[in-house]
Amino acid sequence: MKKMLIVALAMPLFAGCGLFQKKTSESTTSGTPETSSSADTSVLVPTRAQAVLKSSHDSKVKGIIHFSEGEKLKIEILAEGLKPGPHGFHIHEVGDCSKGDFSSAGGHFNPSQGHHGSMDSKQRHAGDLGNLMANSKGKANTTIVVSDLTLKPGANSIIGRSVVIHKDKDDLKSQPAGNSGPRIACGVIEALK
C-alpha cells in the first residue's frame, strides 16, 4: 500500500518533468513554431523607373524619361528645350548629375567592355541608345525598346545610373563616345514602387 501511495504521489512530479508526455513538434522558446531556415528573402524587383532631366548651366532642356520592363525594356523620352535635330542619347555609368557639366555621370554604361556604336552594332556599349530627334519646336517624344538593359538587379541593371542627352548628334562610330559634344541634360534613374 505504501508503494502505491509513493507511486501515486510521484506521478504528477514525473509528468511535470515530461517523462510521460508524447513527443510533439518542437517549438521555440517564444512558443511560436520554428520556421524553416530558408525563409522568404525575396526582394521586390522594380518594373518601372524614371529619370527627371535637369539642364546644364548653358541649356534649357527639361523633361522626364519613363522606363518600364516586360519581356524587354521600354524607354519613353519626353524632353523639350532642345535645338531641333539629333542629339546623342546614352545611359551613363554613374547616377550623379551634380556637376554643372554632368561629368559626374561618368562614361557610357558599358558592362561588356564593348566599343561605342549604334544600337544595331554587334558589339556596343549597353548604354549607347543612338540619337534622340528633336522636332522644329525643340521637343522630343520618342520610345526606344532594348533587350540588353534591365531594371532587375544584375550586371546590366540601369537603376541608380544616369541618362544623358548631348548637345550634338552621335556619329555612332567615333571612340570612345560618338563625338556628340557637351552633356546638356542629365537625370538619375530611380525605381518606382
Note every long-range contact of 19-22, with CB atoms under 8 Å and residues 24 or more positions apart, other chains counting. none
What's the pLDDT score for residue 176? 57
Q: Does some domain include residue 78?
A: yes
Domain presence at residue 123: yes
In the predicted structure, residue 191 carries a pLDDT above the cut 90: yes
Residue 185 belongs to what domain range? 48-191
What percent of the chain has a predicted confidence (pLDDT) above 70? 67
Higher pLDDT, 57 or 12: 57
Burial of 176 (0-12, 13-18, 19+ CB in 10 A): exposed
Select from 90, 51, 61 the least CA-distant residue to 170: 90
pLDDT for 2 beyond 90: no
User: What is the full DSSP assignment across 125-136?
Assistant: -TTEEEEEEE-T
pLDDT in tens, 129-162: 889 999 999 999 999 999 889 999 988 899 999 9
pLDDT at residue 108, rounded to an integer: 81
Q: What is the pLDDT of residues 169-185, one digit of tens each?
A: 987 665 555 567 889 99
In a domain, 32, yes or no: no
Instruction: State the total domains in the chain.
Output: 1
Share of the chain above pLDDT 90, in %: 44
In a domain, 42, yes or no: no
The CATH number assigned to the domain holding 160 equals 2.60.40.200
Domain assignment of residue 91, yes or no: yes
Q: Report whether pLDDT(193) > 90.
A: no
Q: Is residue 6 part of a domain?
A: no
> What's the whole-model pTM score?
0.72
Residue 30 lies in a domain: no
Q: Which residues contact 72 (CB under 8 A, 6 or more apart)?
A: 145, 146, 147
Classify residue 43: in a domain, yes or no. Answer: no
Give 75-112 pLDDT, tens digit per residue. 999 999 999 999 989 999 999 999 989 999 998 887 77
pLDDT attached to residue 174: 56
